[in-house]
Amino acid sequence: MAQACAVGLRDISIAFPGASRAASPFVAVQGVNLDLVDGEFVAIVGPTGCGKSTLLNAAAGLLKPASGTVTIHGKALAGLNRAAGYLFQAEALFPWKTALDNVAIGLEVAGTDTDEARARARKWLARVGLAAFADRYPHQLSGGQRKRVGLAQVLIRDPKILLMDEPFGPLDAQTRQIMGNLLLDLWSQDRKAVMFVTHDLEEAISLADRVVIMGAGPASRIIGQWRVPIPRPRDIDVRLEPAFHHLHREIWAALKDEVVKGYRQSEVAS
Amino acid sequence: MRNRFTLFTLQVLVAVVLIAIWHFGSTMKVNIPALSPKPFYPLDPFFFSTPLAVFERTFKDFYTGVIWYHLGITLLETMLAFAIGALGGVLVGFWFARKAVIAAVFDPYVKMANALPRVVLAPIFALWLGLGIWSKVALGVTLVFFIVFFNVYQGVKEVSPTLLANARMLGMSERQLMRNVFWPSALTWMFSSLHTAVGFALVGAVVGEYLGSAAGLGYRIHQAEGVFDVTGVFSGMLVLSIFVIIIDTLVSAIENRLLVWRPAPAAQA
């Protein structure tokens, strides 16, 4: 590969302790190999409970894999992944900080002085379309606006790797598409390596360079990868193109069985 | 309530009705031969006093200035009890929440100490600290400490794991986490218990005074009771309630100032 490897997952297995001491540990993912080159946008799609988020947490250094290694820019990861920005699915803004301070905090903790951090945060809020909302607290913003603040909060630190865990999952369909466009727009300016977890195949195809499909858990593994041949720049309308439909049908054929399996498993478990 | 004025009118009406019942019951004799051969007061003024007498006494206490000294003492005790108890509660709450081992070791003792009715401690404190203000402050502290302690402990423990993970991913050190995540979270919980904590600080002060002192509102009430001066007791209670309402309003104002970021509680019907 010509480009440098940004994130390398080598034979990763992740297990959680069993519910009781007697129970065997729950193996979430097993034997996963995945490489992200610099500037590549990879979407990971899989049925509910397949361990997509777990994999992302391993890449972030929030979780230590039971076996296998995570490498970041060629170096084995120990502790937190300092090169990465992480956009969470759940609410992760500081409720006691204004939108502006929420964005500025990433710079402030790194030692940038408050005035400069705020000035740059203001610029970032403008880039995500929230210039007029700098003084609002998170509860005064809509779900989509909070996600925009979250995006600015992560991107202001200029991480080389962007990890996203179903970031637009809780939003309504229209807002998701708009957020998708915003993300593509921001990403195309400096092309970070992106690991984007989602359960929405359409979202995955329209955003990513490569779609990785994971099988149903437990002990799920990667069952297939597809390059997305649709040229960039893209936007929402990509969903109307024949190439999109063709790819969607192909991937869905592989994914469908796993989704059914995943549901059956979660029904047995509950 | 749609109309604040209507609400206020109704609130005043409740007071007017209750005071009217009290007033007429204690000043107008009724004649019910089945109950008593002679005409009698339904609310005997010896036991219930009369509203006019109570208001007159209260006014006189303020007018002559006797009460200010006692109010000042009670206020001082309340504030000291609150400040010391809250400070201790915050520090220990933080410490326990961050060190699981310590919390586990002390857990049964904390529960034991909290289950103890504080009134029984009052004589001990009087013995140790004398009849001055410090025995009352100590009593208030034992009440305030646990309320604040439990809330701060809870607040630090229940920081959302996502928020914490986000803060770490944004590059916060342990100290920055403390300042930007744990401290504000604990503060929110502390403030949610502020009304209760201030109330208990006052309870500690007044009960302490009641059980043995030479000044304060509790002392005044106790003195009046000792000579069957019901008017004095009611007057003391009236002053006490006005005092509580003023303090509570102040606390609300401080709370609204400091917690502007918090979503407004669901609108009241």
Position A269 scores a pLDDT of 58
Residues in chain B: 269
Position B269 scores a pLDDT of 35
Is the predicted pLDDT of residue B115 greater than 50, yes or no? Answer: yes
CATH code of residue A181: 3.40.50.300
Arithmetic mean of pLDDT, A259-266: 73
Position A264 scores a pLDDT of 75
Q: Which residues of A touch B176 (CB under 8 A)?
A: 109
Q: What is the mean pLDDT of chain B?
A: 88
Is the separation of the CB atoms in B218 and B206 below 8 Å? yes
Confidence of residue B55 (pLDDT cuts 50, 70, 90): very high
| Single-letter amino acid code for the residue at B116 | L
**Upstream peptide bond of A218 is cis (omega within 30 degrees of 0):** yes
Position B183 scores a pLDDT of 87
Position A268 scores a pLDDT of 63
Position A266 scores a pLDDT of 66
Q: Give CA–CA dist A214/A216, Å, rounded.
A: 7
Q: Which residues of B touch A62 (CB under 8 A)?
A: 165, 168-169
State whether B184 and A110 contact (CB < 8 Å): no
Strands (E) in A77-190, as ranges, are 84-87, 161-165
Q: Which of B170, B172, B173, B191 to mutate to test the interface with A (most CBs of A within 10 A)?
A: B170
Percent of chain A with pLDDT over 70: 94
| Single-letter amino acid code for the residue at A64 | K
State whether B162 and A96 contact (CB < 8 Å): no
Alpha carbon A159 to its chain's center:
13
Residue A188 to chain B, least CA–CA distance (Å) = 22
Position B60 scores a pLDDT of 92
Alpha helices in chain B (DSSP H): 4-27, 45-48, 51-64, 66-98, 100-115, 121-129, 133-157, 161-169, 174-177, 183-192, 194-211, 217-226, 230-258
The domain segmentation of chain B, as residue ranges, is 1-48, 50-258
The SS3 assignment for A168 reads coil
Q: Give CA–CA dist B192/B22, Å, rounded.
A: 37
Closest to A39 in 3D by CA, of A191, A159, A155: A191
Position B13 scores a pLDDT of 96
- Indicate whether A16 belongs to any domain: yes
Q: What is the mean pLDDT of chain A?
A: 85
Domain count, chain A: 1
Q: What share of chain A is helix, strand, coil (3-state, %, to 5)?
A: 40, 25, 35
| Single-letter amino acid code for the residue at A230 | I
- Enter the pTM of the model: 0.77
Arithmetic mean of pLDDT, B137-166: 90
Confidence of residue B196 (pLDDT cuts 50, 70, 90): confident
Is the predicted pLDDT of residue B78 greater than 50, yes or no? Answer: yes
Residue B199 to chain A, least CA–CA distance (Å) = 26
Arithmetic mean of pLDDT, B55-64: 92
Q: Give CA–CA dist A145/B107, Å, rounded.
A: 43
Residue B181 to chain A, least CA–CA distance (Å) = 8
Confidence of residue B267 (pLDDT cuts 50, 70, 90): very low
Residue B159 to chain A, least CA–CA distance (Å) = 11
Comparing A67-81, B16-30, B78-92, the range with the smallest average pLDDT is A67-81
Q: Largest Cα–Cα distance in chain A?
A: 56
Strand pairing partners for A194? A41, A162
With b for 16 or more beta-carbon neighbours within 10 A and e for fewer, the B142-152 pattern comes to bbbbbbbbbbb
Q: Which residues of A touch B262 (CB under 8 A)?
A: 95, 139
State whether B165 and A88 contact (CB < 8 Å): yes
Q: Which residues of B touch A137 (CB under 8 A)?
A: 260-261
**Upstream peptide bond of A233 is cis (omega within 30 degrees of 0):** yes
Angle made by CA atoms B62, B66, B68, in degrees to the nearest 5: 70
> What is the interface size between A and B, counted as CB pairs within 8 Å?
60
User: pLDDT by residue (tens digit) across B243-262?
Assistant: 888 988 888 888 888 777 77
Q: Give CA–CA dist B71/B199, Å, rounded.
A: 15
Sign of the CA dihedral B144, B146, B147, B153?
A: positive
Q: Which of A109, A149, A153, A158 to mutate to test the interface with B (most CBs of B within 10 A)?
A: A109
State whether A82 and B171 contact (CB < 8 Å): yes
CATH topology of domain B50-258: MetI-like fold (1.10.3720)
CA-CA-CA-CA dihedral for A148, A151, A152, A158, to nearest 10: -160
Confidence of residue A263 (pLDDT cuts 50, 70, 90): confident
A104 to chain B: nearest residue by CA? Answer: B170
State whether A90 and B162 contact (CB < 8 Å): yes
Is the separation of the CB atoms in B133 and B76 below 8 Å? yes
Residue A248 neighbours by CB distance under 10 Å: 18
Q: How many helices (H) and strands (E) does chain A have?
A: 7, 10
B185 to chain A: nearest residue by CA? Answer: A96
User: pLDDT by residue (tens digit) across A158-208?
Assistant: 898 999 998 888 788 888 888 888 898 889 888 889 999 998 888 888 888
Position A81 scores a pLDDT of 85
CB-side exposure of B72: number of CA atoms within 13 Å?
6
A152 to chain B: nearest residue by CA? Answer: B170
Q: Give CA–CA dist A6/A161, Å, rounded.
A: 7
Q: Transcribe B177-199 into DSSP letters.
A: HIIIIIHHHHHHHHHHTHHHHHH
Is the predicted pLDDT of residue B265 greater than 70, yes or no? Answer: no
Distances (CA, A) of A93 to B153, B167, B183, B205, B235: 22, 9, 15, 42, 52
Is the separation of the CB atoms in B85 and B267 below 8 Å? no
A81 to chain B: nearest residue by CA? Answer: B169
Position A21 scores a pLDDT of 67
Q: Give CA–CA dist A140/A193, Å, rounded.
A: 32
User: pLDDT by residue (tens digit) across A58-90?
Assistant: 989 888 888 888 888 888 888 888 889 999 988
State whether A90 and B170 contact (CB < 8 Å): no
The SS3 assignment for A53 reads helix
- Indicate whether A11 belongs to any domain: yes
Question: Could you tell me whether strands A84-87 and A210-214 are parallel, antiparallel, or unpaired per DSSP bridges?
Answer: unpaired
State whether A88 and B168 contact (CB < 8 Å): no
Is the predicted pLDDT of residue B138 greater than 90, yes or no? Answer: yes
Confidence of residue A11 (pLDDT cuts 50, 70, 90): confident
Q: Which residues of A touch B266 (CB under 8 A)?
A: none
Is the predicted pLDDT of residue B268 greater than 60, yes or no? Answer: no
DSSP A220: B
A140 to chain B: nearest residue by CA? Answer: B263
Structural domain of A234: 5-83+159-269
Residue A33 neighbours by CB distance under 10 Å: 12
Position B233 scores a pLDDT of 92
Q: Give CA–CA dist A165/B179, Å, rounded.
A: 27
Is the predicted pLDDT of residue A235 greater than 80, yes or no? Answer: no
Is the separation of the CB atoms in A258 and A216 below 8 Å? yes
Position B195 scores a pLDDT of 85
Alpha carbon A52 to its chain's center:
9
Arithmetic mean of pLDDT, B122-148: 91
Is the predicted pLDDT of residue A1 greater than 60, yes or no? Answer: no
Position B253 scores a pLDDT of 87
State whether A88 and B171 contact (CB < 8 Å): no
Distances (CA, A) of B238 to A209, B20, B224, B250: 75, 16, 14, 19
Q: Which of B169, B173, B175, B190 to mutate to test the interface with A (most CBs of A within 10 A)?
A: B169
